[in-house]
Amino acid sequence: MQLVAGRVARVHGLRGEVLVEIRTDDPDERFAVGAVLATEPVESGPLTIEARRWHQGRLLVRFVGVPDRNAAETLPGVRLVVEVDGSDGREDEFYDHELEGLRVLDGSGTQVGTVAAVLHHTGQELLVVRRPTGEDVLVPFVSAIVTTVDLAGGRIVLDAPPGLLDADAIEPDPVETGPVETGPVEVGPVKVGPVEEG
């Protein structure tokens, strides 16, 4: 099974380095020097990692055959794909691609939107739910709110507190050029976590 391990966000500097948005729980293995990654779109790859380093909590990568900024300018938006074994017996863990596109229902069975994306923040994952009006709202991916994830049925069921599905209920963090990691953060698969009280 093929999974997206990362996405090229932008070019960094003049030496062909790019900032990679990580979408894997094992970036050290997936982005090891010498690793060959398939791409989406296919014509952009495959890409072989020549060098990599962490800079302010973000992963910077240089690929073989991409010697400078001009060559790297063709890469932003390219998804980096790896082959994985799909028989790992996961429970309550989901990859981003499994959640994206699922119908989002409320407790009465009414569709309230679809999952447009999954955001990985330090200590918490958020579902970006696209409402029928076209607005996006952020829903914490915790078991008290996301009561059912039915991949086979193509649906997620929410027990949403009042106001959660309003577009201005949760303000997103300031826009960043990539994910900020402050420690060992599990990026994918996503695990449905407990509700934090405070």
Q: Hey, where are the domains in the chain?
A: 2-83, 93-171+186-191
CATH number of 2-83: 2.40.30.60
Per-residue model confidence (pLDDT) at position 118? 82
Q: What architecture is the 93-171+186-191 domain classified under in CATH?
A: Roll (2.30)
Q: Does the pLDDT at position 153 exceed 50?
A: yes
In this chain, the answer to whether the domains covering 2-83 and 93-171+186-191 adopt an identical fold is: no
Residue 46: C-alpha distances to residues 35, 67, 112, 167, 195 (Å):
10, 16, 39, 39, 41
Bridge partners of 195, per DSSP, are none
The model carries a pTM of: 0.50
Q: Does the pLDDT at position 39 exceed 70?
A: yes
Instruction: Report the distance separating Cα 78 and Cα 34, nearest Å.
Output: 19
Q: Tell which wins on pLDDT, 124 or 128.
A: 128
Kindly report whether the peptide bond that precedes residue 140 is cis, defined as omega within 30 degrees of 0: no
Spatial neighbors of 36 by CB under 8 A, at least 6 apart, are 46, 47, 48, 49
